[in-house]
Amino acid sequence: MNIQQRTAKTLSQPSQPAAPDVARLPRKERLSAREDRLAITYDHVGAGIIEIDQAGRMLHVNRKEAEQALARRNEQQAALFRSIVESSDDAIISKDLDGIIRTWNSGAERLFGYTAAEALGKPVTILFPLGREDEESGILARIRIGERIHHYETVRRRKDGSLFDISLTVSPVRDGAGHIVGASKIAHDITDRKEAQRRLRESISERRHAETQQRLLLDELNHRAKNNMQVLQSLLFSAARTAHSEEARKVLNETSARIAAMAAAQRVLYGRSDASRVAVEEFLPAVCQTIRQLLPPDARIECGAAHGVLSNDVAMPLALILNELLTNAVRHGIKDHARQSVRVSLTAQGGRLALCVEDDGEGFDLEAVRSKTSSGLQLVLGLARQLHGTLHVTKNPSRTCLDFPAARI
């Protein structure tokens, strides 16, 4: 008869004799078995199994067939487990509580160099470098109390004597009664990872050394440049004081102010670990404060919004532009220093930067002034072109803005 479904059902306690024939079962049990449609596995077989057809009719009880099927499935599972262990790249080893190797997979042979015949029955300490044998007693002590050891990094020795780094996971092995009888070890070679970590540490150390040397060189260059600027400023001040021409004194003082603005930008740039860029929040107040010291004592400069990042190439010309715009605003835009001030902002938006200087004066016509021989304005226009920027001037209130692209840093 074609059997479509098998259902395992315990008919009696294992200690009781199995029912040889379903016909001898009480009617109540036969009906219960017929109605049972759950696929209970062979693991739950007690006195035997009941075979039923697609219509639910009971056929017979066969305990022997159930036991054979269970044995076949167990063997299949065992074979699958052995295949998994043997195909693993990691070493999988088992040992008893005396530390004697009991199983040894192909991964262990590849990793340690010993064949199974050479390793089985030997103490696991044959894999330990000199001086590390005491690790085994500590591992076994933890295993005996049922503790599992996760990712324990240590060093082991191959058959040829070479040492290498491994990560161990050690677990207790129990018998059918639940007693701990040994331990299983999974050993993973971490030599490549350790080597990569070593190279990374060396690279970081070398980079830090290079950064230290670069910082020392920048400090030395900054010191020399600052000294040279101070000497140049002193010469210009001295020349301005002794100059007989008012025009000469004006030119010398303006030149000295420009050098001071550049020096302020340099202090901000080279006072940082990264001299290739500077935050606008640091740059704007520092340059404004330096320029403020060269203006009349009662002149007021207010630093407003400041955000963004400037590259080294932008910082220097921008400091010169700021010096010219602030000086012009204080000299020509402010009539009452006690009540009026010059407002400055430098902000970033959409990949562009905007430097704005505003005062309460009447302002000026950029096109009208452009044709005049104003050295300050000509300098601003030239530096604006260098920054690929555009100068905008508005009146009432007087406002001059330089819009330029933020440099890629």
- Could you state, in order of their start, the residue ranges of all structural domains in the chain? 5-79, 88-189, 196-405
Report pLDDT for 62. 60
Which CATH superfamily, name and number, covers 88-189? PAS domain (3.30.450.20)
pLDDT tens digits along 203-213: 998 888 887 77
First to last CA, the chain: 83
* Candidate from 123-132, 188-197, 240-249 with smallest mean pLDDT: 240-249
Which residue type occupies 396?
N
Residue 195 to residue 164: CA distance in whole angstroms? 11
pLDDT confidence bin for 254, thresholds 50/70/90: confident
Confidence of residue 217 (pLDDT cuts 50, 70, 90): confident
Q: Contact at 8 Å (CB) between 324 and 365?
A: no
**pLDDT number for residue 15:** 40
Per-residue pLDDT at 54:
62
Question: Is 1.20.1050.10 the CATH classification of the domain at 196-405?
Answer: no
Strand boundaries in 350-397, DSSP class E: 352-359, 390-394
Greater model confidence, 397 or 38: 397
> Could you tell me which residues are beta bridge partners of residue 94?
103, 184
358: phi then psi, degrees, rounded to nearest 5:
-130, 140
Q: What percent of the chain has pLDDT over 90?
A: 27
280-293 and 312-328 helices, crossing angle to 10°: 40
pLDDT of residue 363: 73
pLDDT for the residue 13: 37
What's the Cα-to-Cα distance from 345 to each of 7, 22, 395, rounded to whole Å?
Answer: 85, 98, 17
Closest CA to 353 of 401, 282, 287: 401
Q: Which residue has the higher pLDDT, 57 or 189?
A: 189
- Answer yes or no: is pLDDT of 218 > 60: yes
- Rounded to whole angstroms, how far apart are CA atoms 184 and 139? 11
Burial environment of residue 391 by CB neighbours within 10 A (0 to 12, 13 to 18, 19 or more): buried
> What pLDDT was estimated at residue 34?
41
Same fold, 88-189 and 196-405: no
Instruction: Convert the pLDDT of each residue in 29-63 to its tens digit.
Output: 444 444 443 333 334 444 445 555 566 555 555 66
When pLDDT is cut at 50, 70 and 90, the band that residue 188 belongs to is very high
Confidence of residue 238 (pLDDT cuts 50, 70, 90): confident
Q: What is the pLDDT of residues 281-318, one digit of tens each?
A: 888 888 888 888 778 888 888 888 888 888 878 888 88
Q: Could you tell me what percent of the chain has a pLDDT over 70?
A: 74
**Residue whose C-alpha is closest to residue 409's, from 313, 311, 317, 273:** 311
What is the C-alpha to C-alpha distance for residues 376 and 261, in angstroms, rounded to an integer? Answer: 14
